[in-house]
Amino acid sequence: MIYTVTLNPSIDYVVRLSDLVLGITNRTVSEEYYFGGKGINVSLILSELELESTAFGFVAGFTGDAIENGIRSERVRTDFIRLPTGLSRINVKIKAAEETEINGQGPDINDDAIDKLFERMDRIEDGDVLVLAGSIPKSMPDDLYERILQRLKDKKILIAVDATKKLLVNSLKYHPFLIKPNRQELSEIFDVTISTEQDIEKYSHRLIEMGARNVLVSLGGEGAMLIDEFGHKHKAGVLHEKVINTVGSGDSMVAGFIAGYLLEHDYSYALKLGSVCGNATAFLPGLATREKIDELLKKF
């Protein structure tokens, strides 16, 4: 089984306006909503690829009900911890001449709720996959990922960590199967300016020396680079279509990479499927669909 963790899921409410004028009533041209959170995005893409997953996390209130009901399907099981107070957050994404975001805080998560999450983690068995993605809410201990990894360190599972700075670096001693920094995050980890392919390769190898098994660096419009656990470099470009939405592209890449590896046990194919999934999300208003993924696979 594949398990994903989303500590602070959301409903992303996207409103489109011809222009945003402060101080008056603005009316939308169109609007959409999506169920968000990095781990949830991974689960939804895995479902498109016909792989089952279980989504862990915390939900609260009527918005939490909507998130849980909205993502539950034959291939996405939910095992959220319900909090007694508060509301799962709503993030407002305003698309006008300029883009503006208003992100909610989400509910407070106490120690009892965290203990319940650990109890769910104990169900993970040898051969399973765990995806830890995103930041840790302010109401939770900032070493939560480390505590999860420490709890699971004696199990033979594949762990992917998609986080930034200290969260990512502190996970390396547990030898995660996959980490996915982007170029900026790689620069921030080592406090350097990374501008060349040689720089990316050099610092990816450094992360492997620090404990990562595979380092996947997303490069936006330049594609992606993978340094695998055997020290081999793999590169993937991008397809050229109109970019509509970049939110969730990195999560889609993680999901595609994991799916590709589980299906073929080949890192070149894993990178290809991951890149295609990331591209497919970028070319659609929401997350990638199976139809778009299949279309792009023929071109990649």
Give me the pLDDT at residue 256, please: 97
Give me the pLDDT at residue 112, please: 94
From CA 171, how far away is CA 211, in angstroms rounded?
8
Give me the pLDDT at residue 95, please: 87
Contacts of 184 (CB under 8 A, 6+ apart): none
From CA 290, how far away is CA 204, in angstroms rounded?
31
Find residue 102's DSSP bridge partners.
92
Give me the pLDDT at residue 144, please: 92
Place of tokens 């993030």: 91
From CA 17, how far away is CA 91, in angstroms rounded?
16
Residue 214 to residues 158, 199, 254, 277, Cα–Cα distance (Å): 11, 17, 12, 18
pTM as predicted = 0.93
Give me the pLDDT at residue 111, please: 92
Place of tokens 């994991």: 258
Give me the pLDDT at residue 140, please: 86
Residues belonging to the active site: 251
From CA 150, how far away is CA 32, in angstroms rounded?
40
Could you tell me how far CA 274 lies from the centroid of its own chain?
A: 12
Give me the pLDDT at residue 136, please: 86
| Mean pLDDT, 10 residues at a time, the chain of 300 residues | 95 92 94 92 96 96 95 91 95 89 91 94 95 87 92 95 89 96 91 90 95 94 93 91 87 97 96 96 93 93
